[in-house]
Amino acid sequence: MIENAVGLYALPLGIAQHFIINGKLVLVPMAIEEPSVIAGVSYMAKLAQAGGGFRASATAPEMIGQIQLLDLADLAAAEALILMHKDELLASLHGLHPTIEALGGGAKDLQVRQIATSPIGHFLVVHLIYDVRDVMGANAVNSAAERLAGPLEALTGGRAHLRILSNLADRRLAKAEVTIPTSALAFGAFSGEQVRDGILEAWAFAAVDPYRAATHNKGIMNGIDAVVIATGNDWRSVEAGAHAYAARSGHYTSLSLWEKTENGDLHGALELPLAVGITGGSTQAHPSVHANLKLLGAKSSGELAGIIASVGLAQNLAALRALATEGIQRGHMRLHARQVALSAGAEPAQVAPLAEQLVREDNIRIERAQEILREWSEQK
Ligand code: MEV
């Protein structure tokens, strides 16, 4: 799949449970090295079942290809010319991707943006709106943007410079929503109302403060990236799109929204660009990806995007619930202890008992793990 390959770099692959999404039970493969994430989303998905699970949707899989047009004397005149000849320009892309077009996708629209000032002066940006159907679409959009460059130059007399997709895929949005009955949030000494209000206070912090929003959104991406990776999609493009979308108002903020419903339940929603495919790219070339997609059973890129958004929302809820109550470290350290045990050289059968002892002693350090292993080998 790549140049100069010398081997494979493996990540743990797990399966998140209990997700009911649009009324359907879904098993979600997740590839991630961080402990607690899969346990966290599975537990939240179980809580969400009390409110009917997640509702997910996605807009049309429309990507944006950008063409930068330089050396134009009159931007407004060039824009008018492009818009006047829009139909011919779009028609010039006909037949470029016959499979996508046969499924109803292809070039849909052209939009023109005038950049009045920049370090190199003014220029035009043409946005090609291209429906990529069930593929991630980078190759499809990039080749369409490259193909359109010639006709745009011929029409305007300008010079087409960059021709590349935008990862701010804000026309290809996925949305997930969940309502959790407050009673289902109660645990230990915490009442449902305490947990709900604690989550709302935590969310308010992320809504107004970019320092907190970055961490809050990182938690969301813990869930999202893991499914994006397991399904062979491009997590860097999803990350770039998510954070650019989080800053779309000019102020970087939370990607999710949590509120109290009229009857006092907790309601959460998450919306973000999700350029993911169920076919094409590495989805066919990589055997694990193929198996993971089969397990998920998504019938379209939009359905996959909805599942991924649901997992992101569940992960956000898991983090906020922990942070707003007992703190994140308690559950985290238990799983971290397993990694410490492995790093200390524990045999597979020793990992669980060693991790348990480290947690019991409240001393999850590699030196202590090595000491215990030495004691055990001396006792043999
Ligand atoms: C850790 O990987 C993610 C969290 O920091 C997210 C958050 O703070 O909301 C726990």
For the chain, the structural domain boundaries read 13-59+181-326, 62-165, 331-379
DSSP 183: G
β-sheet with 256-260: strand ranges across: 24-31, 13-21, 54-58, 173-180, 266-273, 256-260
Q: Which residue in 122, 218, 267, 290 is the catalytic one?
A: 218
380: pLDDT strictly greater than 90: no
216 is catalytic: no
Q: What is the pLDDT of residue 112?
A: 98
pLDDT in tens, 323-353: 999 887 776 777 789 889 999 999 999 999 9
Q: What is the mean pLDDT of residues 351-377?
A: 93
Q: Is the CB of 114 under 6 A from ligand 1?
A: no
User: Which residues have CB under 8 Å from 287's CB, separation 6+?
Assistant: none
Range with lowest mean pLDDT among 130-139, 244-253, 280-289: 280-289
Q: What are phi and psi of 379, to 5 degrees?
A: -70, -20
Q: Which two tokens stand for residue 367?
A: 């030196």
Q: What is the mean pLDDT of residues 167-175?
A: 98
- Asked whether the domain spanning 62-165 has the same topology as the one spanning 13-59+181-326, the reply is no
283: pLDDT strictly greater than 90: no
Q: Is the CB of 206 under 6 A from ligand 1?
A: no
Q: What is the mean pLDDT of residues 130-154?
A: 97
180: pLDDT strictly greater than 80: yes
Distance CA 195, CA 117 (A): 49
Distance CA 180, CA 85 (A): 51
Q: What is the pLDDT of residue 287?
A: 87
Q: Is the CB of 36 under 6 A from ligand 1?
A: no
Q: Given the CA of residue 202, which atom of ligand 1 is nearest to it?
A: 9
251 is catalytic: no
Distance from the CA of 365 to the center of ligand 1, in angstroms? 22
Range with lowest mean pLDDT among 16-25, 53-62, 157-166, 282-291: 282-291
Distance CA 369, CA 168 (A): 46
From the candidate CATH numbers 1.25.40.10, 3.40.50.300, 3.90.280.10, 3.30.70.420, the one assigned to the domain spanning 62-165: 3.30.70.420
Location of structure tokens 């745009």: 152
Closest alpha carbon to 355 in 378, 332, 377, 380: 332
Q: What is the pLDDT of residue 335?
A: 78
- CATH architecture type of domain 13-59+181-326: Alpha-Beta Complex (3.90)
Q: What are phi and psi of 11, to 5 degrees?
A: -120, 150
- Separation in Å, CA 104 to CA 60, 97, 181, 328, 351: 11, 11, 41, 46, 53
Q: What are phi and psi of 181, to 5 degrees?
A: -60, 135
pTM score, whole prediction: 0.91
Pairing of strands 256-260, 159-165: unpaired
Q: What is the pLDDT of residue 72?
A: 98
94 is catalytic: no
Ligand 1, atom 3, residue with closest C-alpha = 219
- Separation in Å, CA 169 to CA 46, 106, 274: 31, 16, 7
Q: What is the pLDDT of residue 286?
A: 87
Q: What is the percent of the chain with per-residue pLDDT over 90, rounded to a whole number?
A: 91
Q: What is the DSSP string of 90-131?
A: HHTTTTSSHHHHHTT-EEEEEEEEEE---TT--EEEEEEEEE
Distance from the CA of 215 to the center of ligand 1, in angstroms? 6
Average pLDDT, the chain: 95
Helix, strand or coil for residue 185? helix
Q: What is the pLDDT of residue 334?
A: 76
CATH class of 331-379: mainly alpha
